[in-house]
Amino acid sequence: MEHASATQALKAGLPEEVCPHFHAAIELIGKRWTGAIVCALTERPMRFGEMRRVVPGLSDRLLSQRLRELEEEGMVQRDVEAGTPVRVTYSLTVRGEELGPAIHELRIWAKRWNCGSHAA
């Protein structure tokens, strides 16, 4: 039934309702610094200090909070190596890695948009 109403809306020239799944994904990735963290992790797994360096301006507290949220959502995996000191490495899960192509395209768009090639 939902598909039929969307088709009717398109035929009537009305915009389609935003998918709640899309909206939830954008809300997650769109949180302050979350996109930058995911983008950094698409390059390779990183330790906390490495992420702090590659995402300048991000506080330790907020980095910890965002990593915890991404871990709870099944996007990031936290691997702890025993030893002194304890070493923690963060990496994308399969679910997080599936964002790779979208992040890649967004990076291309951002470079193009920020380099002045967008229309005023």
Domain boundaries, the chain: 18-114
pLDDT on residue 4: 59
Kindly report, residue by residue over 21-57, the tens digit of the pLDDT. Answer: 888 888 888 889 999 999 999 999 999 999 999 998 9
pLDDT on residue 64: 96
What is the CATH number that goes with domain 18-114? 1.10.10.10
Q: Average pLDDT for residues 7-17, to the nearest whole number?
A: 67
**DSSP annotation string for the chain:** -HHHHHHHHHHTTPPPPPPHHHHHHHHHHTSTTHHHHHHHHHH--EEHHHHHHHSTT--HHHHHHHHHHHHHTTSEEEEEE-SSS-EEEEEE-HHHHTTHHHHHHHHHHHHHHHTT-S--
pLDDT on residue 14: 67
pLDDT on residue 3: 57
Q: Is the pLDDT of residue 9 over 60?
A: no
pLDDT on residue 5: 60
User: What pTM did the predictor assign?
Assistant: 0.77
Q: Percent of the chain having pLDDT more than 70?
A: 84
pLDDT on residue 29: 87
